[in-house]
Structure 1
Amino acid sequence: MLSSVHMTQSIQAYTGDRLAQARALAGLTDEALRVRAITAARDKAFEDLWALTLAYLSSDTSAGVKLSPHTLRAYRKGVEVLLEHASGNAWNLLHPGRREPGLYVAALTASGLKPATVMARVAAAGALYRALRWAGATDADPFADVKRPKDRTKGVVKNPPYRAEFVQAMLAEADVREAALLLLLTHAGLRIAEALAVEWVHVNLPGRRLLVAHGKGDKARIVPLSGRLREALEALRAVSSGRDGFVLPWRAYSSAYERLQMLALRCGREHEFRGFHAGRKYAGTQLYAAVKDFTRVAGFLGHEQVDTTRRYVEVPEDDLADAVEAFR
């Protein structure tokens, strides 16, 4: 446990898992934590402020320690960008000027960032200020009313689903591990974190079902397995060392990304590879074409809101042509 004697030491000196780090800060007396946060804000000390934000996110939010690495990377980058701006524009972090947050958002937009990236930066800034309030360092909530840019382009247009020709070309060239990963994305509709976390105990090949034990928000769901995905998993199990443990050999997002990127290169289609999410959209689009029901697709993808699912599914422009043909 930390004490006030150690207040001059860097927060990041305390390593270990995220919960242990959160306890190290949350376990301080109110005054010690407040002084530590005020000092970090005064010095605009990135590592200390990020550790404070991480402790808050880990201990005082609904997602807690199960926040995804992707979300944490986005928050960390956002805190770093805000501090760079604050240093360059003489911000007092604990008492920012009333117009400063709006100018920050305007500067992000003027730099050429896409609206979604600006929104992510603002979300990270909001998380930092929630952490500072959690620590008792300030009452400021400068981003509560700031106007955020709106992206008028649908996500499915900016990053559409993969085309069937691309997926089939990748599968034709893939080894058993690559095929299993690709099909978990494009047939089961899993997020990459969900795919990498699948264990053999979650796979029910006879029942044609897969348990996503820890989806986004730590929600579990059952997804059906296509015939081709079952074949891929059976082939992978045949060459695996055992029937326990993780299905896929990669634990890091970057390792899986590089593997599929190299697969696309072997296919001569590296220019078509756009990461993992386009595969998930491919699954959602295929399912919607079959069932014509956004609610069922939302359950399949693990979305709480059907409006989110609508942004994943590419609907043909002439989707209503047959329906209106017989109008009188």
Structure 2
Amino acid sequence: MPTDLVPFSGDRLSQARTLSGLTDEALRVRAVTAARDKDFAELWALTLAYLSTDTSGGVSLSPHTLRAYRKGTEVLVEHARTQAWNLLHPGRREPGLYVAALSSSGLKPATVMARVAAASALYRALRWAGATDADPFTDVKRPKDRTRGIVKNPPYRAEFVQALLEQADPQERVLLLLMAHAGLRIAEALAVDWTHVDLQRRRLLVAHGKGDKARRVPLSARLREALEVLVPGAGPVLPWRAYSTAYDRLQKLALKAGREHEFRGFHAGRKYAGTQLYAATKDFTRVAGFLGHEQVDTTRRYVEVPEDDLDDIVENFR
């Protein structure tokens, strides 16, 4: 039986079935061969099949998450190749050395942790396939980032959002406002369909949020106006499906507005929405529901609280 995996040409579930449908022995042999040869393409196909069929996220895992896992798998396989790792039976100290090598290369702690998460996913996939019992990253110490996320990547400022809106075409304006006013993740924004939009009731259904959880969010007046300009119809609201395409459009928009140095991707727009809502409500629980967070502690990392918001209260202490 050939060991080459057929290139993926259908949906992820179809690809997963290609591997999951094998007998236990055939799957084990394929995984063992891929690990022995340190074949990234086959190891990633195995990991993707595992992630799609045997995890809580399943086929609903976001493209962003999959990109991170794919890159992390690629980095680990390359490290194993250059360091002569036996992937199925790694030495006791090798995982710690791998994490140390990542840290010493100048990567940020969050990126190192993402690489380790991908490595752990690869080993879960290898165990799922019956190729090994190894779980080498369980006890490896991860680097800790002492700088709060809201400091490293704060919300966009109102002036920046307004500058981009003034330069945006109708579709770019909707994309911006879906993040900065509706608080959507980029994957959620690109997935919005006209059937999810209720302009009359001023509501938007986020049909497939993170973890495949649905929620409804209010539509601001500016976002409703921007949607009406597109002329509501059928099918997707936005023409772009790929994260990279949307990123490129906003990056070029920031350049056009002369503020390219302030562009920091999509999450800062979501933080802008969360920060605005918290400023009005002073309620992290309501902001968590708006952003689609299960844990309020996650929401706290998205909201920038003014440093002087206690000044007047403390001033009147008795």
Give me the TM-score of the superposition, normalised by structure 2.
Answer: 0.97
Instruction: Establish whether residue 154 from structure 1 lines up as the match of residue 148 from structure 2.
Output: yes
| RMSD, matched Cα | 1.1
Distance in 2 of aligned mates of 1:264 and 1:38: 48
**Counterpart residue number, 2:226:** 232
SS at match of 2:216: strand
Alignment of 1:103-114 (within 5 A): 103-114=97-108
Paired amino acid for 1:221: R
Unmatched runs of 5 consecutive residues or more in structure 2: none
Q: For the structure 1 residues 14 and 219, does the alpha-carbon distance in structure 2 shift closer, same or farther, using more than 3 Å as the test?
A: closer
Paired amino acid for 1:173: Q
SS at match of 1:11: coil
**Counterpart residue number, 2:299:** 309
Instruction: Establish whether residue 63 from structure 1 lines up as the match of residue 26 from structure 2.
Output: no
Q: CA deviation at 1:322?
A: 2.3
Distance in 1 of aligned mates of 2:252 and 2:27: 47
Alignment of 1:147-226 (within 5 A): 147-226=141-220
Q: CA deviation at 1:308?
A: 0.8
Unmatched runs of 5 consecutive residues or more in structure 1: 1-5
**Counterpart residue number, 1:3:** none
C-alpha contact (below 8 Å) 1:12/1:51 kept by paired residues: no
* Alpha-carbon displacement from aligned partner over 1:13-71 (angstroms, at most 9, x marks no partner): 46422111111111111111111111111111111111110110111011111111111
Q: CA deviation at 1:204?
A: 0.9
C-alpha contact (below 8 Å) 2:155/2:268 kept by paired residues: yes
**Counterpart residue number, 2:119:** 125
**Counterpart residue number, 1:101:** 95
**Counterpart residue number, 2:315:** 325
**Counterpart residue number, 1:268:** 258
Paired amino acid for 2:202: R
C-alpha contact (below 8 Å) 1:102/1:146 kept by paired residues: yes
Distance in 2 of aligned mates of 1:317 and 1:112: 31
Paired amino acid for 1:271: H
295-304 vs 317-326, which moves further: 317-326
SS at match of 1:250: coil
Distance in 1 of aligned mates of 2:235 and 2:11: 22
